[in-house]
Copies of this chain bind each other. A is one copy, B any other.
């Protein structure tokens, strides 16, 4: 799935909200030799985002796929327009 195609499908009906999407992929050269990096990064990246935007947990969709050689994480966050980006 293309990240650009994902956004393009919204174009026919603009919505009064913002979206933030993160795709994270980890390709392992050795299988099973290391702990799951993607799982570790998932929580910390969500924490980083929460510092900057008000995240409604109902509006966060997380999909995780652990393959044999590649783990992928997809995080799709809908940001209500009244939740302004916090000052850095």
Chain A residues close to B by CB (< 8 Å): 1-4, 6-7, 10, 14-30, 34-35, 37, 40-41, 44-45, 48-49, 51-53, 70, 72, 81, 84-85, 88
Contacts and interface: CB of A to CB of B under 8 A. Distances in A.
- Going nearest first, the 5 A-B pairs with the smallest beta carbon separation are A23-B23, A19-B27, A44-B48, A34-B85, A21-B25
A26 B35 contact: no
Contacts of A25: 3-4, 6-7, 19-21
A14 B69 CA distance: 11
A1 B45 CA distance: 23
The dominant DSSP class at the A interface is mixed
B29 A17 contact: yes
